[in-house]
């Protein structure tokens, strides 16, 4: 028995059983060379060896070897079958294998996605959950969606949180809290709470907000333990059966005098007086008080935690009334129709469905919404704009948390003026009569229903408007709904994209950040199980490769008309003062490009959420990359922290945003010298590969959001410009830069098996003897004073990621391409060594001495165009034309930068490749 390790040419190693350390009676092989440690995130070898040694040679046979191969993670979601063979007898058996939950997709993805269907609330889970400072400035612990059934081990929080969010779990009883004097806000929406334990007041003395929306509290007596909470101000019991009980709201108001808001409606003085009159002894209220007393003595219809929820019993016991369910006439009509029906034929079934729909329409209980009513004039004004087109737009607002009314009507206005009029810190509903022109010249009009809820608005305001939206939408038929949380989401181009994506046919539009029909961001993909998502991803890669093959169908045409580019494509400038404190030195960039950065990060969150089907990966980023930020070297650590603070984006996400450019950048760079000895340095920066392909518009999702975030930066010290660069807002490293009179520098990613992700993992695991690529280039631009010094720093510094550094100088024949491994320089390609053309160098993402990847050859077309232009015509114009020729210019290209060291000229332009165009 042996394991033969092969290259494509010959055997690298033959591992005989006699050479196996500690066990000569068996060999076990996974997917990594046996003399090297397995990949840290895909270790099946260690568990397999552990199980084999535990079984021992004495018990070995089909039974035990099958048991070993059925042990997780040797068995995982990717396993298709297990085969058992015995040569001497010729026995051969194979069995289809399925790994039931809890089971990892494979040991690589297990830590990120594979969660059991239900979980215990362990100290480890609490410690590893997301801990943030929420918009109200409170420390918040996020325990959402873990399917926790029992509250326990909350002492592990060490009373460090003002808010605990337990939404979307399986909790049946509100009990089991230790003494947590700091806890003020508790959210348990979408659970199965049936009982509230006694003693909450002693465990949670400061509790002021309790959200129990969509639970299973049935009787008024079930709420009795809440009377001990003397500081309770906000309470939500929406979508609980108890909402339908007679005098429910007045009963709660009477029992909880400290309450200020119930079910997101302010408690008025009139309600308090009415409750006092109804539930005090004597007079009319005496009977009601006795009824309440009898309720208090009647035990609640509940079960022991863990038992099934008595949904049917709850439904049967709920009273039927005009306000809370179908009327008696409705029920009689349905029963009579069923009694008369012999079969569910084509006539009977529609009649039953119509009766049921009519009954349901009349049976909307107040506790199923926010309790906000709609002023009759709202519908009148809507009819005027829908039928008569009398107004351009109408703004509605909620008055006194009780009524949706018309705030203002505007008969004529430009769309820009409308956007400017939106309140920046308050919510609104708007109906806008929007006229637009199709590509074929046809005219269209759509009524837009805009739910405006800016991110900076108070949480309570957003909750009231969100919960009241259905009430007003019920009055507004035939509208296109727009959910907008930022000005960028109501920008006119965004609105047009939404209408275009839906063909202006639906009454519900996707969010602007989802306006691209991304292949693998569909609802069906999000609903898939974790293991089944792998196949669409593999199919995506295959389709992308096939799409890339379309480059062969697009002939290379060396453009001569691209320069000068449109004036509005040139990137504008801001200053970063290196003398300023790192925490605040990026404030000009944030002020200039903050909204675009937030939109980009938000789109990436949507991409990840739809790809994985949950917020889990995003939460892991927010939690696990936050400590990583504090391991980064100064001043970059404080700069990233400062950007997070100024933008409100979680620190973990800003850190990931900066890491991405270490491992995910595709580029083309050129250094060229004209016949007069003038050096030019230019580059295309391509980014966004595999981050969402829009089939409708043939664009890359993230690339479209990157272009608006591009900014030119002058880095200054003592009021003088040290160097200039083109950055994506929020990225503190350097990818493209010029030091006037000294040198120019661009960085291209080097596609290599020992890639940047390995260095990042090593850094996370504590091995931090290398430098982040973007931080190295930034240090070179700040400290190197000459071409030679920059070259020395770029060739000798150990880095986290392999790369190509394209360096331009200020003297004739200067210019080189440094090919880097993570440890040192593999090659320095000087212009004097360039075959056929010593006057320029061109670098993409592959070693220059090897042929480029067959599906990504930008080098050959680039060289063809450079040779066609010739040295005599070289300058900004022709080098820009080369970089604007397909496929050097492609769907991933975000900008083109042009630099000249001797004069300090620096220009960068946003680039968009129109069809027909290569995907990369």
CATH number of the domain at 571-910, please?
3.60.60.10
Strand-pairing partners, residue 900, are 905
How far, in Å, CA of 883 to CA of 889, rounded? 6
Local structure of 789: helix, strand or coil: helix
- Which range among 42-51, 621-630, 890-899 shows the weakest confidence by mean pLDDT? 621-630
Please, what's the largest Cα pairwise distance for the chain? 107
Task: Provide mean pLDDT across the span 709-717.
Answer: 96
Torsions phi, psi of 127, nearest 5? -70, -30
Which residues participate in catalysis according to the annotation? 667
The confidence band for 878, taking pLDDT boundaries of 50, 70 and 90, is very high
Task: Give the C-alpha separation, 144 to 158, whole Å.
Answer: 19
C-alpha distance from residue 509 to each of 474, 503, 584, 692, 878 (Å): 17, 10, 39, 19, 44
Residues 6+ apart with CB under 8 A from 877: 563, 564
Contact 457, 486 (CB under 8 A): no
544 neighbors 693 (Cβ within 8 angstroms): yes
Count of CB atoms within 10 A of residue 347's CB?
9
Quote the pLDDT of residue 812: 86
Distance CA 547, CA 525 (A): 21
According to DSSP, residue 119 is labeled B
Question: Taking residues 606-631, what's their average pLDDT?
Answer: 71
CATH no. of 374-503: 3.40.20.10
Q: Per mean pLDDT, which range of 193-202, 435-444, 801-810, 904-913 is the poorest?
A: 435-444
| pLDDT at residue number 869 | 93
Q: Choose the most confident range, by mean pLDDT, from 341-350, 449-458, 545-554, 888-897.
A: 888-897
Tell me where in the chain the CATH 3.60.60.10 domain(s) lie: 571-910
CA 726, CA 744: separation in Å to the nearest integer? 12
Got the DSSP string for 500-554?
HHHTT--SBPPPGGG-S-BTT-SHHHHTS-TGGGHHHHHHHHHHHHHHHGGGGGS
C-alpha dihedral sign at 103, 105, 111, 112: negative
Q: Which of 59-68, 391-400, 657-666, 701-710 comes out lowest in average pLDDT? A: 657-666
In contact, 373 and 471? CB cutoff 8 Å? yes
Number of neighbouring beta carbons within 10 Å of residue 915: 9
Residues 294, 721: Cα–Cα separation, whole Å: 81
Quick one: pLDDT band at residue 713, thresholds 50, 70, 90?
very high
Q: How confident is the model at residue 128 (pLDDT cuts 50, 70, 90)?
A: confident
If we measure between CA atoms, which residue out of 207, 211, 218 comes closest to residue 191? 211
Q: Cα(280)–Cα(448) distance, rounded to whole angstroms?
A: 50
Residue 666: exposure state from Cβ atoms within 10 A (0-12, 13-18, ≥19): buried
Q: 3-17, 276-290, 596-610, 681-695 — which is least confidently predicted?
A: 276-290
- Phi, psi angles (nearest 5°) of residue 464: -65, -45
Q: What average pLDDT does the structure give for the chain?
A: 80
Beta strand 195-196 pairing with 173-174:
parallel
CA distances from 174 to 165, 222, 225 (A): 13, 11, 10
CB 13 within 8 A of CB 5: yes
Query: pLDDT digits over 631-642, tens only?
Result: 889 999 999 999
Lowest mean pLDDT among 5-9, 382-386, 541-545: 541-545
Compare 436 and 864 and report the one with higher pLDDT.
864
β-bridge pairing 130-133 and 163-165: unpaired
Output the CA torsion 131→137→138→142 (10° steps): -30
Percent of the chain clearing pLDDT 90 (strictly above): 38
**Rounded CA gap, 112 and 124, in Å?**
15
Residues of the chain with CATH 3.80.10.10: 123-278
Say what the pLDDT of residue 149 is: 86
Is 44 or 291 the better-scoring residue by pLDDT? 44
Which pLDDT does position 338 carry in this prediction? 60
Tell me if residue 483 falls in helix, strand or coil: strand
Over residues 296-313, the pLDDT tens digits come to 444 444 444 444 444 444
| Of 284, 302, 86, nearest in space to 174 by CA | 302
Neighbour-count burial for 390-420, b at 16+ CB within 10 Å, e otherwise: ebbbbbbbbeebeebbbeeeeeeeebeebee
- Contact at 8 Å (CB) between 830 and 804? no
pLDDT digits 0-9 by tens, 148-177: 888 988 988 888 899 999 998 889 899 889
Contacts of 414 (CB under 8 A, 6+ apart): none
Question: Can you tell me the distance from the alpha carbon of 770 to that of 800, in angstroms, rounded to the nearest whole number?
Answer: 6
Verdict on whether the full-model pTM lies above 0.85: no
- When pLDDT is averaged across residues 251-263 and rounded to a whole number, the result is 93
> What average pLDDT does this structure show over 139-143?
90
The pLDDT value recorded for residue 556 is 64
CA 138 to chain centre: 23
Residues 6+ apart with CB under 8 A from 341: 348, 352
The matching CATH number, chosen from 3.80.10.10, 3.40.1000.10, 1.10.150.20, 3.40.50.300, for 123-278 is 3.80.10.10
Q: In whole angstroms, give the CA distance from residue 877 to residue 907.
A: 12
Q: Which residue intervals of the chain bear CATH 3.40.20.10? A: 374-503
CA 645 to chain CA centroid, nearest Å: 19
Q: Where are the alpha helices (DSSP H) in 549-635?
A: 587-612, 616-629
Contact (Cβ atoms closer than 8 angstroms) between residue 647 and residue 594: yes
Q: How far apart are CA 521 and CA 545, in angstroms?
A: 19
Cα–Cα distance measured from residue 903 to residue 899, given in angstroms and rounded to the nearest whole number:
9
Burial 478-501 (b: 16+ CB within 10 A, else e): ebbbbbbbbbbbbbeebbebbbeb
Residues 136-150 as b/e (b if ≥16 CB within 10 A, e otherwise) read eeeebbbbbbbebbb
Strand 403-410 and strand 373-374: pairing? parallel
Burial letters for 39-62: b for 16+ Cβ neighbours within 10 Å, e otherwise?
eeebbbbeebeebbeebeeeeeee
Position 743 pLDDT exceeds 60: yes
pLDDT band at 137 (very low <50, low <70, confident <90, very high): confident
Phi and psi torsions of 508, nearest 5°: -140, 115
């Amino acid at each position: 028995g042996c394991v033969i390790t092969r290259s494509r040419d010959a055997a690298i190693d033959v591992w005989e059983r006699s050479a196996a350390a500690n066990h000569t009676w068996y060999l076990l092989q996974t997917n990594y060379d046996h003399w090297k440690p397995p990949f840290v995130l895909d270790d099946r070898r260690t568990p397999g060896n552990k199980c084999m040694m535990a079984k021992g040679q004495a018990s070995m046979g089909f039974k035990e070897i099958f048991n070993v191969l059925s042990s997780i993670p040797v068995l995982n979601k990717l396993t298709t079958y297990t085969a058992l063979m015995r040569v001497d007898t010729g026995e051969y058996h194979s069995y289809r294998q399925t790994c039931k939950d809890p089971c990892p997709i494979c040991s690589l993805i297990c830590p990120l996605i594979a969660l059991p269907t239900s979980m215990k609330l362990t100290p480890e889970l609490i410690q590893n959950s997301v801990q943030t400072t929420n918009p109200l400035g409170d420390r918040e612990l996020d325990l959402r969606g873990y399917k926790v059934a029992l509250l326990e081990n909350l002492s592990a929080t060490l009373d460090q949180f003002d808010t605990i969010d337990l939404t979307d779990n399986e909790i049946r009883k509100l009990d089991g809290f230790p003494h947590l004097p700091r806890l003020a806000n508790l959210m348990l929406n979408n659970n199965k709470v049936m009982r509230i334990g006694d003693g909450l007041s002693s465990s949670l003395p400061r509790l002021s907000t309790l959200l129990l929306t969509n639970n299973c509290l049935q009787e008024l007596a079930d709420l009795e333990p809440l009377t001990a909470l003397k500081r309770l101000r906000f309470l939500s019991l929406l979508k609980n059966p108890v909402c339908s009980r007679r005098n429910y709201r007045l009963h709660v108001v009477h029992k909880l005098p400290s309450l200020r808001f119930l079910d997101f409606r302010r408690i008025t003085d009139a309600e308090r007086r009415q409750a006092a009159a109804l539930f005090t002894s004597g007079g009319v209220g005496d009977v009601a008080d006795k009824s309440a007393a009898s309720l208090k003595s009647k035990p609640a219809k509940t079960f022991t935690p863990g038992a099934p929820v008595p949904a049917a019993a709850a439904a049967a016991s709920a009273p039927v009334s005009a306000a809370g369910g179908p009327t008696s006439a409705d029920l009689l009509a349905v029963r009579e129709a069923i009694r008369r029906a012999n079969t569910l034929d084509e006539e009977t079934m529609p009649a039953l469905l119509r009766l049921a729909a009519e009954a349901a329409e009349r049976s909307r209980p107040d506790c199923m919404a926010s309790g906000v009513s709609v002023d009759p004039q709202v519908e009148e004004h809507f009819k005027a704009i829908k039928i008569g087109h009398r107004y351009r737009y109408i703004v509605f607002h909620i008055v006194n948390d009780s009524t949706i009314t018309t705030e203002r009507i505007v008969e004529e206005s430009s769309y820009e003026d409308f956007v400017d009029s939106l309140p920046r810190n308050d919510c609104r509903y708007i109906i806008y009569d929007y006229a637009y022109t199709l590509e074929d010249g046809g005219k269209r009009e759509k009524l837009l229903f805009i739910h405006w809820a800016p991110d900076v608005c108070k949480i309570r305001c957003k909750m009231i408007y969100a919960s009241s939206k259905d009430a007003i939408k019920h009055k507004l038929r035939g509208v296109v709904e727009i959910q907008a949380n930022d000005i960028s989401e109501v920008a006119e181009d965004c609105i047009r994209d939404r209408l275009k994506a839906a063909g202006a046919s639906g009454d519900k539009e996707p969010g602007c950040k989802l306006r691209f029909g991304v292949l693998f961001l569909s609802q069906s993909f999000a609903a898939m199980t974790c293991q089944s998502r792998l196949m669409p991803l593999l199919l995506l890669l295959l389709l992308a490769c096939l799409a890339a093959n379309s480059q062969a169908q697009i002939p290379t045409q060396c453009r001569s008309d691209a320069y000068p580019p449109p004036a509005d494509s040139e990137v504008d400038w801001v200053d970063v003062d290196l003398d300023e404190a790192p925490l605040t030195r990026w404030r000009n960039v944030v002020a200039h490009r903050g909204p675009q950065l937030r939109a980009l990060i938000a789109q990436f969150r949507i991409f990840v959420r739809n790809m994985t089907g949950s917020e889990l990966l995003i939460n892991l980023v927010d939690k696990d990359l936050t400590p990583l930020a504090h391991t980064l070297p100064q001043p970059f650590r404080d700069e990233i922290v400062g950007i997070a603070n100024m933008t409100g984006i979680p620190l973990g996400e800003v850190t990931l945003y900066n890491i991405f450019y270490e491992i995910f950048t595709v580029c083309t760079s050129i250094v060229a010298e004209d016949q007069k000895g003038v050096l030019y340095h230019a580059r295309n920066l391509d980014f966004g590969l595999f981050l969402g392909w829009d089939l409708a518009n043939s664009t890359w999702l993230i690339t479209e959001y990157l272009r608006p975030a591009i900014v030119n930066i002058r880095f200054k010290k003592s009021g003088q410009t040290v160097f200039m660069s083109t950055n994506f807002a929020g990225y503190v490293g350097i990818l493209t830069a010029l030091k006037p009179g000294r040198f120019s520098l661009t960085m291209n990613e080097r596609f290599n098996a020992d890639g940047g992700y390995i260095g990042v993992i090593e850094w996370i695991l504590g091995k931090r003897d290398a430098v982040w690529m973007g931080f190295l280039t930034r240090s070179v631009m700040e400290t190197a004073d000459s071409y030679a010094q920059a070259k020395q720093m770029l060739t000798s510094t150990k880095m986290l990621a392999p790369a190509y550094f394209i360096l331009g100088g200020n003297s004739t024949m200067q210019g080189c391409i440094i090919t880097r491994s993570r440890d040192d320089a593999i090659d320095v390609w000087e212009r004097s060594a360039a075959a056929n053309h010593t006057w320029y160098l061109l670098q993409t993402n592959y070693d220059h001495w090897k042929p480029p990847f067959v599906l990504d050859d930008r080098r050959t077309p680039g060289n063809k165009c450079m040779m066609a232009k010739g040295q005599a015509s070289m300058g900004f114009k022709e080098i820009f034309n080369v970089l604007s020729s397909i496929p050097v210019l492609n769907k991933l290209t975000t900008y083109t930068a042009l630099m000249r060291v001797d004069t300090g000229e620096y220009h960068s332009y946003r680039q968009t490749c129109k069809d027909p165009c290569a995907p990369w």
